[in-house]
Structure 1
Amino acid sequence: MIRPLSRGIGVALAVGVALALAIPSSPLPAAAEVAPDTPALNWVVNTAPGGPSEETLRAAIADAGGTFLISYPEIGVTVVRAPEGGFAAQLRDLPWVQSVGPTRTSTTPDRLPDPAESAAGVTEEPEAMPAEGTAWDTVAVGATTPGGAGVVVGVADNGIDAGHPDLADRIDPALSVGCGIKGVPDTRPAAWAPEAGLSGAHGTHVAGSIAGAADGAGIRGIAPDARVAAIKVDNQTGHIYPEASICATMWAVRHDIPVVNHSYYVDPWYVWCAGDETQSAALEALRRTYAYAHEQGVVSVAAVGNEAQDLATMTTDVVSPNDGAPEPRPVDSSCLKALAGLPDVISVAAADQDETSGAVVMARFSNYGAGTVTVTAPGVVWSAVTRQDDGSIYALFPGTSMASPHVAGLAARLLAADPQDTLIVLDLANAGAVGGRAVVDIDLTAFADVEVPVPPVGEVERTARGLRWTLTLDSAQKAQLQIPATSGDDPAFPVVAVR
């Protein structure tokens, strides 16, 4: 059963656009001594950007019983390790502190997991895997030709197998880093290597979808001529805490990585609520980070999640905190999915291919919701994985985690090609909805100029923010809208809402 997006209408997107990004390249702040592995939490301390001095910060943190980990003065965010108790209250009394809050509920110390066995030297391919360049997802996004040359894409995930035959010459080790241990950058190869087993294959799969080599064998990425930087953000338990996500994005800003894929949500809260004192400070730190990255020209792409959840109408969270004892809790409009719900992040839902009709439809597992999804991309795909117990190095994975790298790969292609003319292609399919009527609002404010196209079905009208396509599709019918546009100097992706 294919879960439809809003009355059975699924959406897939392919775009071409000019991007011109410039990123400063000053070094990251040096990390101070890391706190010993005693029962403690990690915290964020938010101050006004640009002050106080690091010396003042360190002194205040130490006086309150904490240990300074790392600070980002340009966004006013400092990461600290400290026991629970009076630490937060003491810092909140300081006039230059705007907010203080924990990033987790577990006191388990972070450490590196055991590394995976590399797929180096393996060439066997599963019979079921499509031939290179022929997979439905590659065709659907129009990425059957070379692309991405000269562009580095950060893969903020659980590591990449540097020896995989489709990725061995695509990884940039000088730009790779581990961020999952207390959010402090670690450039040792062991710090960004994946862990053993299927759980460690995720980042390699994502990297393959982005930049798998076009070498006539194995799989082929959406931007096969691009390179990737492995930015490992998980710890030994698989959790990805706010400080790791912040570290990953600030690393990208400081090291001229123009596109970063984030196929995860930030632990331990399924959604983060600004009205909750235990979550508001970390959410504010994430908001500052991704707003700053956007200002500096970094394209941040994130998956919306796989719970078949309408994120726009969600009222109860039953899975948080996922590093402790989850308890049902009410949530409201102040709560958002991090990272996909942040305003400066491209949020990606997943599409699938209907086995009977071949139509591109909303994947049954994908989260969705009005105003919560920027684009939809293929999310059931073959790609590279770390070497598994049975010797396999390729796998078919479903997930919005697999959809997000398609958009990151497209961004790399666009950066490399630098076209001025853009063609936005929207594919819609009726997955069996009664009536089959859809209203598609297309926000095109990121584009410099847009023509009103003549649709094959229905009517298109101009709105204050772009275009509205109103149409009716019979059961299993498909329709495609092609929108000629001209991009400006900034990354341009349309925001599509279907109702």
Structure 2
Amino acid sequence: MRGVTGVQKVGQTRETDVPPTAQRYLEPQMGASISAPAEPVEWNMAMMGADKAWAINPGSRSVTVGVLDTGVQGTHEDLRDNFDAANSVSCLYGKANTAPGAWEPDSYAPAAGHGTSVAGIIAAARNGRGVVGVAPNVKIASVKVMEPTGYMYAENVVCGLMWSADHGFDVTNNSYYVDPWMYNNPSNPDQDAVIEAVRRAVDYAHSRGTVTVAAAGNYGVNLDAEAGLFLPGDLPNAISVTAANTRKELAYYSNYGLQTVELTAPGGDGYAMINTTGLNNGYTTFHGTSASSPHAAGVVALLASAHPTATPDQLRAMLLAQAIDTPCPSGDSRCTGTTAKNSHFGEGIANALAAVSGGNPDPDPDPEPVTTVYATDFETGAWTVNPAGSDTATSGRFEVADPGATSWSGYTMQPGTTPSGVRALVTGAAPARPSATTTSTAA
């Protein structure tokens, strides 16, 4: 076929000499089952200000996010209100299959619940039970691209991206890499054809109004230094997302790269995982760039809800401009760049609150500088705190005085000294045997 006139590139995607990397990519991210929560504000949502965003705009019913993954169990109690079965599909073997339930996960496949967990991060409903997604009012559609063997081959991904574009999805989340090669090198004819096919599909989706959000990968490598492309995240019209932990550091497993990644979002690690939906109406912990990518996709869905006429380029520009600047951690030589843009976090942490508020608020602002309202050293005698002079501490429960030391059974209950000077605010100046109400001193 490579010699046929008009054929640009040809490649074999189902190589038999490539190790089964897809399973290694998905399975470590699956956590342990947990009891159904009752919609607490989780650390990951608070980091992005999503909990504050819900009060402003929880997402529009006209916005749909396509979950290109292992399949989604749309009957889950936390997903069914937002699940769009009519626009869900299986793209296995490169062919769209809309038979009822074709888009559901294969129970015997590795990491079968992966797509259901991703969907919960994006759009689990606010219904008084379980968890809440970043955009709890938008729709989600399942686009199954993982075969029962655990592979996401290029033909499946191309089908999924094209389907999403043709069915008007505003966003797709892509928490995987295109098999069978982790890094596709343009110098290899087979891999070059895979790059071209997936690039065209991503570009087509972009031209039809769909934003492609993708995981940066879980191998702790600098993507800038790799000879090949990590697909689809490395493509120009895809947004590559790294994973941050609860301490706002790059998660130990996350790939990174100054020229490659654009954004970060909560991904979790051993200190704190992501709680989300699981198979069979259950809930589970989850971590990885497979978790950070849907956080970012949810923020794009909020942006599309707040700006219904915005183009993919405009949504992308807002997403990156509003991101919360996150500096390189001290002492980590892998991180290069500036606070505004670096190899660990790209433009910063995805900002759900800014997406719906029209500005760039920090969902976790630093405390305001302390303003001194009244100061005294207690040495002047009278303690006046209002213009009328009616609030004094010369008598009553507290008084300004020279404290006498009080002890009981060898324990000092009230010291007889002050940090400076002689006087302090005390509950009793004279030493006395304490009763059930002990004395206290404030210097």
2:282 counterpart of 1:384: no
Aligned mates of 1:97, 1:260 — CA distance in 2: 29
Report the count of equivalent residues: 318
Corresponding letter in the other structure for 1:185: A
C-alpha distance 480-156 of structure 1, shift in aligned 2 (>3 A): closer
Aligned mates of 1:348, 1:480 — CA distance in 2: 10
C-alpha distance 284-438 of structure 1, shift in aligned 2 (>3 A): closer
Structure having the larger proportion of residues in strand:
1
Aligned mates of 1:486, 1:255 — CA distance in 2: 24
Q: Is 2:328–2:338's contact at 8 Å kept on the other side of the alignment?
A: no
Partner of 2:237: 344
Question: What SS does the corresponding residue of 1:279 show, helix, strand or coil?
Answer: helix
2:305 pairs with one of 406, 416, 428: 416
Question: What's the CA shift for 1:253?
Answer: 1.2
1:373 pairs with one of 230, 237, 261: 261
Greater mean alpha carbon deviation, residues 392-401 or residues 216-225: 392-401
Question: What SS does the corresponding residue of 1:200 show, helix, strand or coil?
Answer: coil
Q: Is 2:302–2:355's contact at 8 Å kept on the other side of the alignment?
A: no
Question: What's the CA shift for 1:291?
Answer: 1.5
Structure having the larger proportion of residues in helix:
2
Task: Give per-residue Cα distances to partners, 1:217-254, cap 9 Å, x unaligned.
Answer: 10100000001010000111010000111000100111
Superposition map of 1:207-356 within 5 A: 207-314=119-226, 332=227, 335-353=228-246
C-alpha distance 350-176 of structure 1, shift in aligned 2 (>3 A): same
Question: What's the CA shift for 1:365?
Answer: 0.8
C-alpha distance 425-278 of structure 1, shift in aligned 2 (>3 A): closer
* Higher RCO, 1 vs 2 (CA within 8 Å, ≥6 residues apart): 1
C-alpha distance 425-341 of structure 1, shift in aligned 2 (>3 A): closer
Q: Is 1:361–1:429's contact at 8 Å kept on the other side of the alignment?
A: no
C-alpha distance 137-415 of structure 1, shift in aligned 2 (>3 A): same
Partner of 2:252: 364
Partner of 1:122: none
Partner of 1:190: 101
C-alpha distance 298-425 of structure 1, shift in aligned 2 (>3 A): closer
Aligned mates of 2:119, 2:323 — CA distance in 1: 25
Choose 1 or 2 for highest CA Rg.
2
Corresponding letter in the other structure for 1:172: D
Q: Is 2:121–2:291's contact at 8 Å kept on the other side of the alignment?
A: yes
Aligned mates of 1:299, 1:254 — CA distance in 2: 13
Aligned mates of 1:397, 1:228 — CA distance in 2: 19
TM-score normalized by the length of structure 2:
0.66
Gaps of 5+ in 1: 1-90, 108-124, 315-331, 354-358, 444-467, 470-478, 488-499
C-alpha distance 435-208 of structure 1, shift in aligned 2 (>3 A): closer
Question: What's the CA shift for 1:170?
Answer: 1.2
C-alpha distance 430-208 of structure 1, shift in aligned 2 (>3 A): same
Superposition map of 1:57-206 within 5 A: 91-106=1-16, 126=34, 131-144=38-51, 145=54, 146-150=57-61, 151-180=63-92, 182-196=93-107, 199-206=111-118
Gaps of 5+ in 2: 18-32, 269-273, 311-317, 357-443
Question: What's the CA shift for 1:398?
Answer: 1.1
Question: What's the CA shift for 1:190?
Answer: 3.1
Between the two proteins, what is the percent identity of the paired residues? Answer: 38
Question: What's the CA shift for 1:442?
Answer: 4.5
Task: Give per-residue Cα distances to partners, 1:342-398, cap 9 Å, x unaligned.
Answer: 111000100011xxxxx31111110111211110000121100103xxxx8111111
